[in-house]
Amino acid sequence: MNIRRVLINLIFILASFILQTTLFRALDFGGITPNLIIIYTASFGFIKGDKAGLISGFFCGLLYDIFFGAHLGFYALIFMYIGFLIGKLHEIFYSQNLAIPISFITLADFVYGMVCYVLLFMFRNKFDIGYYMMNIIIPEVVYTALIAILYYPLILKINNKIDDREQRSAKKFV
C-alpha cells in the first residue's frame, strides 16, 4: 500500500464524515440521515479485502468515537467488525456488479443499527424495538442504500484508478 492510497483513503473518510454530519443533516428525512461512514467502510472492505476493511473501519469508527461517542472505542469496534466481515466476502463475490455490494452495504447498516440498539438502548431497559425499527433502522437503511447506489461506484472507480497506477509503476521496476 503506497502513500497515495493512504492519503486518498483518509480524504474519503474525512469527506464522508463531513458530508454525513453537515450536508446530509440538512437533507434529512424525518431526522434520518444516510450513514456514509458505513457505506465507505463496507465498500472499501468489499473492494480491498478483510484487512483493509478492518483498518478503514477502525479509523472511521475512531472518528465517530471522537466526535459522538461516550466511550472511546465503541464505534471503532463496531466499524472494525463490519469492515472485516464485509471484507471476507471480497474473494467470493465480484466487486464490479452493483447489486451485490449495495445489498451488503444495506445489510451492514442494518447490523449496525441493531448492534447500536442492543448495546445502547436495550441494556438500559428500553425495549421498544418496534418503534426503533420502524422509525430509525429501516428508514436509515433505505436512505443509506439509495445514497450507496451513487457513492459506491465513485469509491470503486477511484480505487481502480489507484490500482492501475500501482500496477503501472510496478511494471517499471520489473
Place of cell 440538512: 26
CATH number of 3-167: 1.10.1760
CB 66 within 8 A of CB 72: yes
Q: Is the pLDDT of residue 9 over 90?
A: yes
Q: Where are the domains of the chain?
A: 3-167
CB 41 within 8 A of CB 53: yes
pTM: 0.92
Q: Could you tell me the three cell numbers for 29?
A: 428525512
Kindly write down the DSSP assignment for every residue of 9-59, as one continuous string. HHHHHHHHHHIIIIIHHHT-BTTB---HHHHHHHHHHHHH-HHHHHHHHHH
* pLDDT tens track for 124-168: 777 788 888 999 999 999 999 999 999 999 999 999 999 888 888
* pLDDT tens track for 89-132: 988 887 678 999 999 999 999 999 999 998 888 777 777 888 88
User: What's the mean pLDDT in 39-56?
Assistant: 95
pLDDT-based confidence at 174, cuts 50/70/90? low
